[in-house]
C-alpha cells in the first residue's frame, strides 16, 4: 500500500493536538510533513494526499487550502465561512461545564472574561451565560469594553460583588486575571474564584495560586481529525462532517477550591453529603442529622446551591465514580457499590444521564 503523505499546517499550534495527529499517523504509516512548524512558510509545489489544519486569522491559509485539491480537515471553528470537514471542541459543553462548576460551589455572583472575541469565546460565553440564567443568575461581562486595559479591568474587578466567580475563555486569560487580582489585593479564591479552559499545565500549575481549568481534549481532537482525514483520503464520505469532542471534566485547583456558601446550615449539609455519599440515605436522613425540617433544608439548599439536596448528592456520587473509573480497574458493579448506588444498572443509567456516555465508554476515553 502506498504511503500517504499528509501536511500538518496549524495556524494555532498546540502540542497536545500535534500528539494526537502524530499518534494516528504513526499507527497508520503516514509520512507527516511538519515543515511549516519552523517558520510557518507554506511549502512550494507541495504534492500529497491530504492536509490537516487549524485555520485562524494569524496564518493566511485559505488560498493554499482551496487550491490544494486534496482532502482537508480543519481542527478549528475560526473560519466558519469556509466549508470544510471539521473535528473541533464542543465549546457549548465547555461553557456549560464552567457554569455547573460554579453553581455546585454555591456562587451567587458570576462573571465572564476573554481577552479577545472570536467564535470560540462567543460559543463558550453563550452556553455559560444561558446556564446561569436558568439558575436565576445574571452573568457579568468584564470584556465588553477595553478587555486588554489592565487599569480598566482592575477597576471592574474591585467593583464586583464578592465573592464572585470568573470563567475565562482560556488559561492565558485566567493567568492575566489572577495577576490583576494579586496586584489589586483581591484574594483568590476567597474574593474572586477563577476558572479557565485547556488545562495547560505549564500555566495552571505555575501560578501563585494554581488555576482550575476545564480539561479540553486537544489530543483527541488531533487524533480524531486525522482519522476523519484518513476516511476522506480513502474516498469515503462520513455521515458527519462536523464532529464535536466533549471536554473531560474540570481539574480543580486552588483558584476555585472554596465554597461560596454563607448559610452555615448548607455548609454543614454539604459536608454531611460529601462525607456519607457511600451510604444509602434520603433527604429526610440528612435533615434529621442536621436537626432541621426537610422542607426548610430543601428550600435553603436550593436557594444556595441552585439544585435539590438529592441532585447534589447524585453529583457527588458521580464525581467519585468518575475518579474510580479513571484511576482504578475496579468493575462497574463494585464502583456502583462504593459510590452509594443501589445496583449497577441504576448507576449506569444515572451516569449516562449526567455525563452523556456509559461508565465503560467514559473509562475508555482515558
pLDDT at 303 over 60: yes
- pTM beyond cutoff 0.85: no
Q: Are the C-beta atoms of 175 and 209 separated by less than 8 Å?
A: no
Residue 155: per-residue pLDDT: 96
Q: Are the C-beta atoms of 127 and 93 separated by less than 8 Å?
A: yes
Residue 275 vs residue 68, higher pLDDT: 275
Lowest mean pLDDT among 46-50, 73-77, 280-284: 46-50
Confidence of residue 56 (pLDDT cuts 50, 70, 90): confident
In angstroms, rounded to a whole number, what is the distance separating the alpha carbons of residues 98 and 306?
Answer: 15
Beta bridge partners, 245, equal 89
Domain 91-216+250-256 in the same topology as domain 5-88+218-245: yes
Every domain of the chain and the residues it spans: 5-88+218-245, 91-216+250-256, 264-364
Q: Are the C-beta atoms of 95 and 124 separated by less than 8 Å?
A: yes
Beta bridge partners, 51, equal 7, 72
Length of the chain in terms of residues written: 366
The H-or-E segment that residue 86 falls in is: strand 86-89
Residue 48: per-residue pLDDT: 87
Helix locations, the chain, DSSP H: 15-27, 36-39, 62-67, 91-104, 119-134, 150-159, 171-184, 201-204, 218-233, 264-276, 283-290, 294-305, 309-327, 332-338, 344-355, 359-364
Residue 319: per-residue pLDDT: 86
pLDDT at 40 over 70: no
Phi, psi of 238 (to 5 degrees): -60, 155
Please enumerate in sequence order all residues whose Cβ is within 8 A of that of 210, keeping only pairs 6 or more positions apart, or say none.
204, 253, 254, 255
Percentage above 70 pLDDT, the chain? 95
Q: Is the peptide bond before 290 cis (omega within 30 degrees of 0)?
A: no
Lowest mean pLDDT among 7-16, 212-221, 324-333: 7-16
Average pLDDT, the chain: 90
Residue 219: per-residue pLDDT: 92
**Lookup result for grid cell 466533549:** 246
Residue 150: per-residue pLDDT: 96
Residue 89: per-residue pLDDT: 94
Residue 169: per-residue pLDDT: 97
Residue 38: per-residue pLDDT: 56
Task: Give, in order, the Cα–Cα distances in Å from 103 to each of 129, 154, 304.
Answer: 12, 25, 9
Percentage above 90 pLDDT, the chain? 69
Which of helix, strand or coil describes residue 144?
Answer: coil
In angstroms, rounded to a whole number, what is the distance separating the alpha carbons of residues 230 and 39?
Answer: 27
Q: Are the C-beta atoms of 48 and 6 separated by less than 8 Å?
A: yes
For 7, half-sphere exposure in the C-beta direction (CA atoms, 13 angstrom radius) is: 26
Residue 336: per-residue pLDDT: 94
pLDDT at 202 over 80: yes
- List the CATH code of the domain at 5-88+218-245: 3.40.50.2300
Q: Are the C-beta atoms of 128 and 93 separated by less than 8 Å?
A: no
Confidence of residue 356 (pLDDT cuts 50, 70, 90): confident
pLDDT at 98 over 80: yes
- For the residues of 300-323, what is the DSSP string, one character each? HHHHHHSS-HHHHHHHHHHHHHHH
Give me the mean pLDDT over the 32-40 stretch. 69
pLDDT at 217 over 60: yes
Which of helix, strand or coil describes residue 250?
Answer: strand
Beta bridge partners, 162, equal none
- List the CATH code of the domain at 264-364: 1.10.10.60
In angstroms, rounded to a whole number, what is the distance separating the alpha carbons of residues 209 and 253?
Answer: 8
Residue 58: per-residue pLDDT: 62
Instruction: Output the CA angle 335-340-343, nearest 5 degrees.
Output: 65
The cell for 331 is 468493575
* pLDDT tens digits, one per residue of 156-188: 999 999 999 999 999 999 999 999 999 999 999
- List the CATH code of the domain at 91-216+250-256: 3.40.50.2300
Residue 36: per-residue pLDDT: 67
pLDDT at 290 over 70: yes
Residue 204: per-residue pLDDT: 95
Residue 102: per-residue pLDDT: 95
In angstroms, rounded to a whole number, what is the distance separating the alpha carbons of residues 132 and 140?
Answer: 11
Confidence of residue 59 (pLDDT cuts 50, 70, 90): low
**Lookup result for grid cell 448559610:** 263
Give me the mean pLDDT over the 257-282 stretch. 87
Give me the mean pLDDT over the 340-357 stretch. 90
Confidence of residue 64 (pLDDT cuts 50, 70, 90): confident
* pLDDT tens digits, one per residue of 120-150: 999 999 999 999 999 999 999 999 999 999 9
Beta-sheet strand order (sheet of 31-33):
31-33, 5-10, 50-54, 72-74, 86-89, 242-245
Amino acid at each position: 500500500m502506498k504511503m500517504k503523505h499528509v501536511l500538518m499546517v496549524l495556524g494555532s499550534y498546540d502540542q497536545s493536538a500535534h500528539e494526537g495527529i502524530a499518534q494516528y499517523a504513526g499507527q497508520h504509516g503516514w509520512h507527516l510533513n511538519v515543515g511549516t512548524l519552523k517558520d510557518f512558510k507554506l511549502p512550494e509545489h507541495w504534492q500529497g494526499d491530504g492536509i490537516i489544519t487549524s485555520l485562524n486569522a494569524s496564518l493566511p491559509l485559505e488560498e493554499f487550502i482551496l487550491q490544494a485539491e486534496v482532502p482537508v480537515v480543519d481542527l478549528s471553528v475560526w473560519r466558519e465561512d469556509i466549508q470544510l470537514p471539521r473535528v473541533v471542541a464542543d465549546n457549548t459543553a465547555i461553557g456549560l461545564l464552567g457554569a455547573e462548576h460554579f453553581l455546585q460551589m454555591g456562587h451567587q455572583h458570576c462573571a465572564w472574561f476573554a481577552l479577545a472575541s472570536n467564535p470560540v469565546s462567543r460559543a463558550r460565553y453563550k452556553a455559560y451565560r444561558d446556564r446561569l440564567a436558568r439558575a436565576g443568575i445574571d452573568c457579568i461581562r468584564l470584556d465588553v469594553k477595553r478587555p486588554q486595559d489592565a487599569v480598566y479591568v482592575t477597576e471592574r474587578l474591585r467593583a464586583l460583588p464578592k465573592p464572585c466567580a470568573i470563567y475565562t475563555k482560556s488559561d492565558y486569560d485566567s493567568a492575566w486575571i489572577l495577576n490583576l487580582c494579586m496586584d489589586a489585593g483581591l484574594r483568590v479564591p476567597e474574593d474572586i474564584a477563577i476558572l479557565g479552559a485547556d488545562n495547560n499545565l505549564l500555566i495552571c500549575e505555575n501560578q501563585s495560586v494554581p488555576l482550575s481549568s476545564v480539561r479540553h481534549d486537544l489530543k483527541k481532537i488531533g487524533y480524531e481529525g486525522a482519522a476523519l482525514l484518513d476516511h476522506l483520503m480513502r474516498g469515503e464520505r462520513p455521515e458527519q462532517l462536523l464532529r464535536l469532542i466533549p471536554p473531560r471534566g474540570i481539574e480543580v485547583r486552588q483558584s476555585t477550591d472554596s465554597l461560596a456558601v454563607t448559610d452555615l446550615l448548607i455548609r454543614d449539609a454539604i459536608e454531611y453529603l460529601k462525607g456519607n455519599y457511600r451510604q444509602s440515605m434520603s433527604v429526610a436522613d440528612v435533615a434529621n442529622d442536621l436537626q432541621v425540617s426537610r422542607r426548610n433544608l430543601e428550600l435553603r439548599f436550593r436557594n444556595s446551591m441552585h439544585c435539590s439536596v438529592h441532585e447534589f448528592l447524585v453529583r457527588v456520587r458521580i464525581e467519585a465514580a468518575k475518579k474510580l473509573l479513571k484511576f482504578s480497574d475496579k468493575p462497574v458493579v463494585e464502583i456502583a457499590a462504593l459510590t452509594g448506588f443501589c445496583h449497577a444498572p441504576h448507576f449506569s443509567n444515572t451516569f449516562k444521564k449526567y455525563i452523556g456516555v456509559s461508565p465503560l465508554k467514559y473509562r475508555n476515553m482515558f
